[in-house]
């Protein structure tokens, strides 16, 4: 017998042996279960067919000799036969290209029919139902809903008590920490806190109108503590002279000009969730997976913590 058939039989037996060891010997084994039996039968046929088809081609490579006309070009003595492109292959190739274009333009895009598209449609329907059901809730129920969103999405960074877990994220029991205020003054701020792009200048653009000069290091420290203490203590004069023009004397902000640094509001939190925020502590991620109502709710919850 040709050595190659012998090898084929050895490999087949070995592979079937491995299959038996992993399936047949496991607890319960084949167990007469029809699905298991069919799977094993399929595995056996695949092994046998694969091994003997491979053998057929190896034999053919050993014995076949080529004929036909050689092309003129040669590469280090290696030539190429002048063969027609097989018609079936060429047709398949062109059809694959057409199919590929269809798939890119019409088939795959997430809103057309595809498993992803179907999933997205289902999610949209579900979300619409959800939003209709909760559209009108306000007050305490909104805060409660926000608390559950917070526990599900935010507590991993901000902590169950929203205290920021020792500086890992912002402590949301107060509007803002001194180091965050200081960071905003020194570096400016461009986090879409007003929704639109409305940056705050850095310290080189912050004049204290009381002294007529740029804000100083000492003033930055004192005004940061003032804002972090809920707009109390020393520093009111610096705030009025430097910040009030945009943030208002009480720090509660002005629409389209500057956000409140004294209080949270659902709108401010929603803007932070829409765009994320980079600051002194680190990076707050954007939360695209929350819908508008959930953002409003978690904003109401955070507002209720500090105000
Ligand atoms: C020219 C107007 C302007 C002035 C003056 C100004 N701010 Fe701002 N401030 C803004 C705007 C606009 C934003 C929102 C920027 C953004 O979207 O990130 C902002 C943001 C901030 C933030 C970031 C809030 C957060 O949640 O991180 C802090 C803190 C802040 N300002 C404090 C101050 C203090 C303190 C002063 C005075 C020393 C001051 N600002 C002066 C316009 C101003
Ligand atoms: C991956 C960690 C992480 C998660 C999750 C996270 N945050 Fe934050 N958050 C931060 C960090 C870090 C900051 C501080 C950013 C800075 O340096 O100003 C922050 C800051 C904030 C601020 C204060 C921004 C300001 O004005 O200074 C709010 C409000 C906030 N997060 C709300 C949320 C809400 C609501 C959720 C859940 C939907 C959430 N965060 C989930 C990390 C996180």
Give the whole-angstrom CA distance, residue 191 versus residue 170.
15
Ligand 2 centroid to Cα of residue 277, in Å, is 7
Point out the least confidently predicted range of 5-9, 27-31, 178-182, 234-238. 27-31
* pTM of the entire predicted model: 0.70
Ligand 2 centroid to Cα of residue 272, in Å, is 8
**pLDDT computed for residue 302 by the predictor:** 96
Ligand 1 centroid to Cα of residue 246, in Å, is 8
Torsion of CA 149, 137, 266, 158, to 10 degrees: -20
Q: Read off the tokens for 144.
A: 């409660």
Q: How far is CA 54 from CA 8, 10, 26, 30, 43, in A?
A: 9, 14, 30, 29, 16
**pLDDT computed for residue 26 by the predictor:** 61
Contact, 116 vs 270, CB < 8 A?
no
> Whose atoms come closest to the Cα of 269: which ligand?
2
Residue with tokens 């926000």: 146
Q: Which residues contact 107 (CB under 8 A, 6 or more apart)?
A: 113, 114
Whether ligand 2 lies within 6 angstroms of the CB of 170 is answered as yes
pLDDT band per the 50, 70, 90 thresholds, residue 21:
confident
Ligand 2 centroid to Cα of residue 261, in Å, is 15
Residue 150 CA: which ligand 2 atom is closest? 37
Q: Which residues contact ligand 1 via a Cβ below 6 A?
A: 176, 180-181, 184-185, 189-194, 198-201, 206, 215, 223, 227, 242-243, 245-247, 258-259, 261, 279
pLDDT band per the 50, 70, 90 thresholds, residue 24:
low
**pLDDT computed for residue 106 by the predictor:** 75
Residue located nearest, by CA, to atom 18 of ligand 2? 279
Contact, 275 vs 286, CB < 8 A?
yes
Q: Which tens digit of pLDDT belongs to each residue from 42-61?
A: 888 998 899 889 999 988 88
Mean pLDDT of the chain: 89
> Whose atoms come closest to the Cα of 193: which ligand?
1
Ligand 1 centroid to Cα of residue 163, in Å, is 23
Q: Which tens digit of pLDDT belongs to each residue from 224-246?
A: 999 999 999 999 999 999 999 99
Contact, 36 vs 30, CB < 8 A?
yes
Residue 193 CA: which ligand 1 atom is closest? 17
Residue with tokens 């399929």: 42
The domain segmentation of the chain, as residue ranges, is 3-65, 138-306
Give the whole-angstrom CA distance, residue 84 versus residue 82.
7
**pLDDT computed for residue 34 by the predictor:** 79
């Amino acid at each position: 017998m040709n050595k190659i058939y012998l090898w084929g039989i050895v490999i087949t037996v070995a592979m079937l042996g491995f299959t038996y060891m992993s399936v047949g010997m496991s607890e319960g084994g084949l167990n007469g279960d029809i699905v298991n039996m069919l799977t094993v039968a399929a595995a056996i046929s695949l092994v046998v067919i694969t091994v003997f088809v491979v053998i057929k081609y190896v034999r053919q490579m050993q014995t076949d000799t080529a004929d036909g006309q050689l092309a003129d070009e040669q590469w280090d003595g290696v030539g190429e036969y002048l063969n027609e492109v097989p018609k079936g292959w060429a047709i398949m190739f062109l059809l694959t290209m057409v199919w590929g274009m269809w798939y890119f333009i019409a088939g795959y895009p997430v809103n057309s029919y595809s498993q992803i598209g179907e999933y997205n449609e289902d999610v949209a329907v579900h979300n619409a139902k959800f939003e209709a059901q909760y559209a009108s809730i306000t007050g305490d129920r909104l805060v409660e809903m926000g608390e559950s969103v917070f526990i599900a999405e935010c507590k991993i960074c901000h902590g169950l008590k929203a205290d920021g877990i020792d500086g890992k994220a912002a402590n949301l029991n107060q509007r803002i920490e001194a180091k965050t205020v200081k960071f905003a003054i020194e570096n400016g701020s461009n986090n879409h806190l007003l929704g639109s792009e409305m940056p705050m200048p850095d310290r080189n653009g912050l004049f204290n109108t009381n002294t007529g000069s740029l804000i100083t290091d000492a003033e930055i420290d004192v005004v940061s503590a003032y804002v972090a203490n809920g707009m109390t203590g020393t520093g009111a004069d610096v705030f009025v002279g430097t910040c009030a023009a945009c943030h208002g004397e009480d720090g509660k902000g002005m629409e389209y000009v500057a956000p409140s640094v004294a209080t949270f509001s659902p709108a401010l939190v929603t803007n932070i969730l829409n765009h994320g925020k980079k600051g002194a502590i680190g990076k707050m991620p954007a939360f695209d997976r929350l819908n508008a109502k959930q953002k409003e709710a978690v904003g109401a919850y955070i507002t209720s913590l500090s105000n």
